[in-house]
Structure 1
Amino acid sequence: MLIHPWDAATDDAEWQQWLAAHDFGQFAVNGLDGEPPFVQPAHFVYDPAPGAHGEVLLHLARPNPLWHALEAAPQVTLSVVDDYTFVPGPWHAAPGDPSEYGTPTSFYAAVQLLGTAHILDDPQVKADLLRRQVAHFQPDGGTARVAPGQEPFGRMLAGIRGVRIDVTQVRAKFKYGGNKPEEVRHRVTGLLAGRAAPGDAAARAHQLRQLSAD
């Protein structure tokens, strides 16, 4: 992912705060013997505490075809993208230029977590992983405790495998026209508010935050 200086996160807190509100991404694993990579959509839990850049926990069905590839090459990427919208060319025209000279572009936020994946098969370890996921996604409870050998979920543990990713590198990008003149950026925030299409409000909030920081 190309990250220009004006698109980069200002610090770790910026991308960590954004990622805390996003827990669904694309889990990418290298393919075997020149095959294309596996890309698996998945819910995940990110814990920023362990190691230099934290860890990711997720689980997938045992029949998933990516396991052999993951065992052969455990270096993986978890990609999360959101708050995206399309910016028409005329919106981005430079001050004094005809509107048709403006270049259309995409606004988006993206965080990529790179690291080493470890496959978890021990029933107790998988049960602990699932409890952490349920506590995150369903904090109000309502689901029976997961424990090996106990109903209703104990017998289902054999049908999944857990994954823990030790994150070694983070790539974060907030692409919201940071390289444009302030006049153009303010123009775009107003036009986003007026259009109010899906994604516009979130993109506008990012742009206003960047303007305020500048």
Structure 2
Amino acid sequence: MYVPQHFAAPDLQAVHELLDHSGASDLVTWTPRGIMATLLPFVFDPAAGEHGALLGHLARNNEQWRHGSDAEALVIVRGPDAYVSPSWYATKREHGRAVPTWNYVTAHVYGRFVAHDDPAWTESLVRRLTGKHESDRPLPWSVDDAPEAFIKGHLRAIVGVEVVITRVEAKWKLSQNRGPADVEGVTEGLLTGTPQDHLVAEAMRDTQRRTAG
């Protein structure tokens, strides 16, 4: 991924937070029929391997898990993103030399692909996934809420997958190439928009805090 220095991730903690808080991401691997991609929810395990791992599962009928074991895989993790209007730039009002752009946070995670055709491994993964997405709910659902035979049937229909991370290319494109007045204008403009726009504004301010000084 092309990452100019001024759009580099502010620090490793920010990258880990992105991996930890992300919902679903694209798993991309090579198969005999060519490149294949599947959108999957992942759990980030920072303690696995040297750089951590992303854990998920595929449908057993999805041929992607049968190919490329131990080969390199790519997971495309997306943070918030939003359109940026040139009307928000203070400098646009001064000289008019401004065009639209897009602000976003993303990470390309590369690693060794491992398939886990093991019900115990997959059940542990499913419990971690549901815990991640249910823990803050008023009435959190648990795997134990469903009949055991029902859960076992579902586990037979999926296969665990793990991407043991070897490197991460992360990009925080959040107007760092603009002056302070333009950055503030973009932030304020985003705060008048959608909830997704608000998340980008929050990411901009968080990045400023992390990189200050």
TM-score, with length taken from structure 1: 0.85
1:197 and 1:123 map into 2 onto residues whose CA distance is 41
1:175 and 1:54 map into 2 onto residues whose CA distance is 24
Partner residue in 1 for 2:199? 202
Decide whether the 8 Å contact of 2:20 with 2:43 is kept in 1.
no
Residue 55 of structure 1 deviates from its aligned partner by 1.1
1:183 and 1:26 map into 2 onto residues whose CA distance is 36
Residue 163 of structure 1 deviates from its aligned partner by 0.5
Partner residue in 2 for 1:187? 185
Partner residue in 1 for 2:105? 109
- Unaligned runs of 5+ residues in structure 1 are none
- Over 3 Å counting, the alpha-carbon distance change for 1:23 and 1:141 in structure 2 is same
2:157 and 2:144 map into 1 onto residues whose CA distance is 18
Deviates more, 1:114-123 or 1:133-142: 133-142
Partner residue in 1 for 2:153? 155
1:95 and 1:158 map into 2 onto residues whose CA distance is 58
Partner residue in 2 for 1:39? 37
2:122 equivalent among 116, 119, 126: 126
Decide whether the 8 Å contact of 1:131 with 1:146 is kept in 2.
no
Identity %: 24
Aligned residues: 207
Decide whether the 8 Å contact of 1:110 with 1:172 is kept in 2.
yes
Query: Higher helix share goes to which structure?
Result: 2
Say what the alpha-carbon RMSD is for the aligned residues.
2.4
Residue 181 of structure 1 deviates from its aligned partner by 1.2
Decide whether the 8 Å contact of 1:92 with 1:104 is kept in 2.
no
1:115 and 1:207 map into 2 onto residues whose CA distance is 28
